[in-house]
Structure 1
Amino acid sequence: MASITGTNSSETLKGTNDYYDYITALGGNDKVYGYYGVDFVSAGDGNDIVYGSFQSDSLFGDAGDDTLYGQSGNDGLNGGLGKDKVYGGSGADQITIGSTTEGKGDIIDGGSGLDRLVMDYSAYTAALTIAIKDWISAQTLTGGISVKNVELFQFTGTRFNDKVTGGYYNDILYGGLGADTLGGGHGNDTLSGGDGNDILNGNYGSDSIYGGAGDDKISGSYGHDYIYGDVGKDTITGGSGVDTLNGGDDNDSLKGDSGDDYLYGDAGDDIVDGGSGNDTLSGGSGADTVNAGSGNDTVQYTIGQGKDKIDGGTGNDRLIVNGLTGSFTFKPAASTNTLSDGTTFKNIENYTIYAIYGKANKITTDTGMDVINSYDGNDTITSGAGDDMVDAGDGKDTVTAGSGNDTVYLGEIAGDKADGGSGIDSVTVYRTKATTALTFSISGATATISDDTSLKYFETIRVYFGAGNDIVKSVGSLSSVTFYGYGGNDTLIGTANADTLNGGDGNDKLTAGSGDDNLDGGAGNDRIYAGAGNDYITDQSGGTNTIDAGSGNDNVYVSDGYSGALGNHTVTLASGDDTLTRGRGKGDLHADGGTGIDTISLDLADMTTGLTFTLSSSVTIVKPDITLKNFERVQIYGGSGADRFTGGTLDDRLDGGGGNDKLLGGSGNDTLTGDSGDDSIGGGAGNDTIYGDGYYINDGKDNINAGSGNDTVYIGINDIADGASGSDHLALYFAEQTKNISFVFSTGTFKPETNTTVKNFESLSYQGSSGKDTVTGSAKDDNLQGNAGNDILRGGAGMDTIHDGAGNDKIYGDSGNDFLYRSEVGTDYFDGGSGRDTLSFSFYSLSATIDLLDQAKNDGAAKGATLKSIETIIGTYADDDIRGDNTANRLEGGYGDDVLQGRGGDDILIGGGSDDWLTGGTGKDKFVFLYDGLSGEGDVVTDFKRGEDKLVIDSYTFGMAGKTKVTLVSGADPVAAGTGASFLFETDNGRLWFDADGTGEADKVLVATLQDIKTLSTSDFEFWTYI
């Protein structure tokens, strides 16, 4: 960071190479030049000329008739006192006029990009009437301020009655004192009335509107608006769209109008009208009148807030009642109900009820889908017809669910009585605090628990038992069950369907039926019988466990106990393609895979002596005591000893762990990992993936023969690798080395300066050292990364991917369509070679200025880079300025507010995320739009030529796969026809919108503004899938 201070004389001040410069010019008629980094300039007194850098600068003219040039970047500019000239340049700039006294006579040109003008008229002595024009092409505002090429405005009004209307973009309007009239215009605007009885209208866009003090009249009009009335008796209308309305203090009137709105009266005696749509309404505190209107609405009320009058209106409505207590019967919807505080409601079909804790409540509902939470207490609940949810909580409860598909929850207290009624019903019973043994049984339609609990007419039952030796005697014809034993020696059985049985602690017996069950023995000496079906079985204990998985494709996991006790597991898998996993530990395992293609997975990482394992029909490991038979596939993880592992004919995974291991893959497509130690690895037949080391590369001297097949081999220093036959890929990792490494891969046989010997490989992935790497890849598709050092990397033939790394690098793509990355600043040279080549700056969060015709202008993330034979540029995460040459370029801005200029040739311009400025230049250009890249302002296309250029819609992100033609509606105020996804073109200003479902104004998003275009047809569009 550099700090530069001038004198009171006229002089020239220049910034430095530092990332931040602070320049104070003081007096005199000065010239100030920013340089490399982010500049903060205070020009001081005098008639000064100030130039920013390519970064986002802050420039202050101070006193005098100053001239400010923001250049590129998102700059902040303030001319100060005097008649100033302010030029934003490219980028999204903010130009501030602190007061009309400061700004009088100023000339402001925002330049390219979406710029904002901040104006403060609070000291002005008369009311203002201002209507912002679209594009602001040479508009003169109050105070003699000339403005053009500024799209966004931030305005603070006088203390009088101002009338201000925003433009086509996202404006911020503050009324201040007085009875103001503010209109948002187009765009997602922010309006604040301040004090006074204001009239506020959001108009188009999704606006945020704040009434402030006074009796305000507020309308959201179109879009998804947020409106807060604040202090005063406000009248608020949401308009179309999904609006959020809050009246604030005093007696307000709220109307949602169309759309699924959220209305909250807040304090005061409010009138809340939902209008059409599926609304959510609450009067808040006070004696409110709530009319939900048409649609399926939700009304929220807490007993004691006030004496409200609630009318659900038409539709299938819901009332949420908080604080209910005692006895209450909800009458049919058409009847009027009266709560204990005098609140009345009618035309409500469904209820969500939250009773007061600890009370003995008696609640009866009518038809409808009700949710009843009675909490603790000895409750009596009758839910009536409909699909209801009843949570009775703790207490000795009686629940009658009635007809419908009901869900009932019963708490910890014994003696509950529940009747599911007709329909497909489920009940969950909690008895985890029980200390004595419980017995569950079923007779006909009634299930009983031996603590005087009765469950009648339920199809699904879940019981969470306690510490006793619990027994499930019968399950009848239940659809499914869930039983958790927790403590005790439990005996649990399942149905013929998909069940969950968990024994918990103790010596448990679990017996499932023929469904796809989930079984867990828990701690203790367990016996598990899974039966038919594709079951998942777990037993992680140090006990003696017996598992019979039965038929089906089962997945079994066993391990030692969490306490460290060694398990002794006997597993029979029977028929099906099963997987048995033995977790880490030293316990014993005896398993029979049975028929089918079965997989055994063994974690032997805790073993310190070398083990030998060869997959065959019968395998024995002496220590630990493991006997296996009838397994066809293996996954094995060795310990620290010298292991000998051999796979079979299928796709195996062998990991030697520590020690000097010997691995042989067999004939499948195997994954072999030597891990630490000096390992010997043979891939055998098949397309194998071989790692000489594991997570820590360069750990040991490995000797690898990939065998036949198309193999991939990962090695580091001191390793020997032979790809043998097939088309093999070598991945070299030398990132921890400091030596200069040089090799040409064309023969596939070489010995670089790392005691590494390789041969018979056809393609390469390379991660270089911190020294100078000079590497030439193969004739196939390679991936090269230089890391630190002044590297020379050549891809050779093929579609190569090359990263530069730190240092002054030279990157050559050679022939093929190559992808080059710049990730570190240096004096770098990028030559794509023949083919259509790409240079990406996507790793940067620093802005880039890139000019393929005048590379002396390359700056920021592109500083020091020389580009040759590069056809495609991908920008950074920040705000870029990218300009092509006179050939056919593809320019992608990436994230940020980018400026793209194609110049000559048939160019493709893709702005990407945020709001971009696109200029195609000469040639048949394509402007590509991605739906997930759209933001509030959309892109600006400066030179679209009908009949020559195309507007390209990415069919994937716009959800229009398979489409061949757009639906286009044109006009001064076009409206979608309600027939699905549509594009809307405003002929008076060139704005192109997208309405995803064709439902109208509220859901549309701005795609782009086409400068100087008044007509558009479907032939101007084409579809594309972004690659």
Structure 2
Amino acid sequence: MAKIKGADGDDSLVGVEDEPNAIYGRDGADTLVGGEWSDTLYGGTGDDRLLSGGYVSNKLLGGAGADTLIADVGDLYGSDILRGGADADLLIGGRADTLEGGSGDDVIECFESENHASGGSGDDLVSVSEPFVGFFDGGTGFDTFEAGGDLIAEISNFELLRATSAVTATADGIEGFDRIELAGEAAGSLLDLTILTSGASSGVLDLSDELGELSVRLHVSLFGEVITVGAGDDVVESYAGYHTMFGGAGDDALRVRSGSVTMHGGMGDDGLTSSDGDDLLDGGEGNDRLSGDDGMDTLLGGDGDDFIASWKSFVVEVDAGAGDDAVRLNVYADVGTGEVEGGDGFDTLIAKGELAKFTLSGLERLETLSRVRATVEQFASFEEIAGASEDRRAVLALEGAGSLDLTGKTDGLGVSVAGSGGDDQIFAGSGDDILRGRNGDDLLNGGAGADRLILDAGRDTLDGGSGDDVFDCAGDARAVVIGGDGVDTLRVEGSLSRLKVQGVEVLDVVRGPFSASADQFESFDAIIASKGVPDGPLRLTLTGAGELDLSRQLDGRAVSLTGSQGDDALATSGGADAVRGGKGDDAIDGSAGDDTLSGDGGADTLTGGEGGDAFLFSAALSNRSFDVVADFESGSDVIRLDAKVFDGLGRGPLAEGAFKDLAQGAFDADDRILFDRAAGALFFDADGAGAANAVLFAELRGAPALSWEDFLIV
């Protein structure tokens, strides 16, 4: 072994290459550099600098003074020993080294793994790059452990953890520090901290003192732990549940993925989120957000304007506390039950589903996300009812029959209400409402606004109130329909036979056909078919003999109108109408338009009006009656003859030889249609000059000119 000794001054000593060295700096600020073997470097007194040089084990002994001891960082084979001595030393280790600071405020830096470091006495700093293997002891004094990553080595007697990056540690390991802070550029941001399931644990993880006002993102996988964070804006995430969590003074976020949990947000605007267990969430002071899920949950808002949500409300107890709170309930089927207390302030319930099994109190406003079923008493307890967004109306359904008065509770969009199936009374407010009684004998009152009232089974009374209302009525339903002020529409299929209607301006027959009495038809200002063929004719039938004038109601739209079996007077508008009188002696006026008029049976009077009209004769001929055509114009109007009644004429235009104007001489065997112009009489002679008598079937008034070209056999 080579022994190299310095003098009393500031020496620079370098060991030999081919054997171990013992290098003594003695007095002065010396620089000692080892060789390639196992060297021992003695700094002596003074502020010395010692550097190991080989790949094997070395000893660097600083002695008195503020020394710097540097082991070879790339040393993969040796385990060096570095001892600082009496003053504030700097020790830099490599791999698997032992570093002892001694007395004084030392700095120990470990750049690789498997090191043993002890600060000794004094306020020391131990900085570790790979802290997952090794032994680290701060010693006496206020000591700082600076590291990041997995802190699973044996670490003891450190007061401060200065985290350089995200930290993973055991519960007892992290609680071994008095305080935690972020180092360097990370200072002021969020510490990412994961607590492992391994390692001893007292069941209480209280980091309130360690964290202080440092904000942390804490990941916990332990079961049954009581977890407390500091005064920062913290995030606590648990994957296992069965915890009790305390959030502290900041704006905290507490979350659990599974299992039951108790959460206390503390002060600040906190967010508490549970999962599938039986949970207690207490927001505390501040404007908090509480989110429960499956299970039997208790949600306490505390002071502040809180948002409290139960996403799958099976069994839930909610006390929103003081402040203007919002409570959301999602209730599926009818299994949800519990209590919701709004507390002081103006509180809002945001809900969907079945609320009948809930006890509701202290809630001023209801907002519906979709249909909400509740009792009359529950709905009546709210001051305001609306949809959950500005473009949606509230959707309500009654659980149990009763009288529900929503006057003054709803906004301009109104409300949609479905009855219970019993005998309900529903009074809507001033919005555009939708009311449906369902089964039972119901009273529906739309109030002000453009309302839609739907008639189902039962004997109902529908009162639209003021506004332009729509009544949807099944064809076989019985009801009294009252339009009220405004332009109201009755939408009904089939007939009005079971309806008593008053004050309704528009009849919507949907598709048709449709039947009503003359008084019923004429009680409306307009008749339409909202789902029929666009611009196609309305198909209407008169029930009971009467006088029916539809010129005002149709406003020029075409109609296919059939009279009753009695004596009718029928008048249409300016469309291309098809009017059939039915049995009885009818008077038919087609008005303007290209109309088709058929008297059917009886002695009828047909007036085509303006336009090219067709007069159809299809009833069996009789010597007892004939029809009168009041305004036939040759060349524009046409007489249509049913080929089954006027046998032998074929189909299509009448043959020229089959027509005979009696003023032009005797008729022959080919003449079938005979016209007496002076009398305006039209006859059908089935066999021409044969034995059968000609039958009068029409009288054309006004002595019009007539020729074979005015006839069409159909």
Instruction: Mark yes or no: TM-score above 0.5.
Output: no
Which structure has the bigger radius of gyration? 2
Query: Which TM-score band applies after superposition, normalised by the shorter structure?
Result: 0.3 to 0.5
TM-score, length-normalised on structure 1? 0.30
